[in-house]
């Protein structure tokens, strides 16, 4: 059985289009808003990456840096990131590991 990532790329290839991969920082603004954003973009994206906010995102672009700092300032912790992923998984009934 192919991985879900492989399946996403194969589906895009079968539809003769590029795969759309998105990225959002977990907890940017609030946990609730972050989950809403993730759910929304997942309706259009083939793959959604949920990033852990950290205090040294120097290799990231300005938008991601700002998002990470905002999430940290609002008190997002590692367990919150897993909570967002778990809630997203429940809402989409996805059978995969995060």
Active site residues: 49, 60
Interacting residues of 1 by C-beta distance below 8 A, sequence separation 6+:
none
Interacting residues of 35 by C-beta distance below 8 A, sequence separation 6+:
84, 87, 88, 91
């Amino acid at each position: 059985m192919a991985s879900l990532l492989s399946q996403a790329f194969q589906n895009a290839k079968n539809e003769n289009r590029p795969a759309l991969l998105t990225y959002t920082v977990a907890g940017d603004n609030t946990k609730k808003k972050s989950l809403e954003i993730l759910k929304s973009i997942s309706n259009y994206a083939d793959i959604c990456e949920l990033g852990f906010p950290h205090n040294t995102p120097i290799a990231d672009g300005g938008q991601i840096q700002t998002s990470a700092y905002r999430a940290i300032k609002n008190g997002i912790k590692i367990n919150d990131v897993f909570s967002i992923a778990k809630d997203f998984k429940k809402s989409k009934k996805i059978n995969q590991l995060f």
